[in-house]
Amino acid sequence: MQFTSKENIEVPIEQVFEMLTDFERHERSAMRRGAEVTRTDSLSAPGVGVGWDLVFDFRGKSRQMNLEVTEFDRPYEMTLEARLQGVESTIQLQLVALSKTLTRLNVSTDVRPKTLSARLLVQSLKLAKSNITKRFDKRMATAARDMEDRYGGMA
């Protein structure tokens, strides 16, 4: 099952990529939302092999997820692999420079169940796909506006 979204951001491609790879900021954001975040690598710079173990509550249950950067092509592309209790996902972030100050962010997520209970979960997601896609697009738009605001504050 796949979800895709694209958003144009009024920020140069290099700065968008820097914001996407500001992993410390993303870690703090997840912790503020109640997640336990543990870095699983010792790399000093963003790149292939950066990873996390996350524990968070979702729908009344504690969930454990492993997340790792598997592809890294600055400033054009980054791919992450996520494993969450029988579900594997590939998250691909692609950036395209439309002009000096305009960048298109394409995000695609491919969800693959590996167990019977995960298949039931993905089947229920398929039934709610249009609603999930709307929420995904809305979250992407919010993230894009946040990047524009952060870039405006830097300039």
pLDDT at 154 over 80: no
Domain of 91 in residue numbering reads as 2-154
Q: Please write the tens of the pLDDT for every residue from 67-113.
A: 999 999 999 999 999 999 899 999 999 999 999 999 999 999 999 99
Q: What is the predicted pLDDT for the residue at 59?
A: 78
pLDDT at 155 over 60: no
Please say whether the beta carbons of 87 and 121 come within 8 A.
Answer: yes
pLDDT at 147 over 80: yes
Q: What is the CATH number of the domain that holds 60?
A: 3.30.530.20
Lowest mean pLDDT among 46-50, 68-72, 117-121, 146-150: 117-121
- Kindly indicate the confidence band of residue 153, based on its pLDDT and cuts at 50, 70 and 90: confident
Number of domains in the chain: 1
Please say whether the beta carbons of 43 and 51 come within 8 A.
Answer: no
Q: What is the predicted pLDDT for the residue at 141?
A: 97
Contacts of 94 (CB under 8 A, 6+ apart): 76, 77, 105, 106, 107, 108
Q: What is the DSSP-derived secondary structure letter of residue 45?
A: S
Q: What is the predicted pLDDT for the residue at 58?
A: 83
Question: Hunting for tokens 């962010």 — which residue is that?
Answer: 105
